[in-house]
Structure 1
Amino acid sequence: MEPASTIVKLLGGPSKVARLVGVHRTRVSSWKRSKDRGGTGGRIPQSHHEALLAAAAEQGIALAAEDFIGSRPGAEDARQSPAADRTTPGSREAAE
């Protein structure tokens, strides 16, 4: 679920993100599950935003606070999470 799926993928996956924020990998995976399945519905807890933004900046990944806000149910904006089109590890080198 978005935006968690895209952000976790950009930052290297659940295990790496778990190390960055100091939680177990399964906690990070729960961010990508729907609420009816015990997840957060794609939301990353706000308490982790600062650490993830800092890690992204250190890795040269364009990630902004707005990327943590998913679209509202029923919203007609069909775009992917803004982070989906951003630099991923290794893509900067490939583009140069």
Structure 2
Amino acid sequence: MLPPTHVYSLIIHNKTSKEMTVMVTYSNMIDNTLAQHSVVVAAGEKGVAEQRTFAWNGATFAVVITAVSVKDAQAALTAPFPGVDSPTSDYRITIVEESGTVHLKAGQP
């Protein structure tokens, strides 16, 4: 049996010249609910999508990140994320602009 390929938190690097709003979708696998949170990342800076947890039946569980997108752009990544072969925290994503189009690159410093 292989380990789950879950991502629990993100480090987001914005290599563009503009502030970007990143939408992060968290999925609760126990009760099949989704929650979307935004992370604003200034130009040339980094942002963090924190790990989130929930309590159920006396235990605490991590919520899994299942999608990442840039607001007002076509850039998006969905689980399973490239290069993830076991539960991962602080997964790195880089926002870049190439020929006027915004892209998300997974696993980039």
TM-score computed with the length of structure 2 as normaliser: 0.25
Determine which structure has the larger strand proportion and give its number.
Answer: 2
Determine which structure has the larger helix proportion and give its number.
Answer: 1
* Structure with larger RCO (C-alpha < 8 A, sep 6+): 2
> Which has more radius of gyration?
2
TM-score computed with the length of structure 1 as normaliser: 0.27
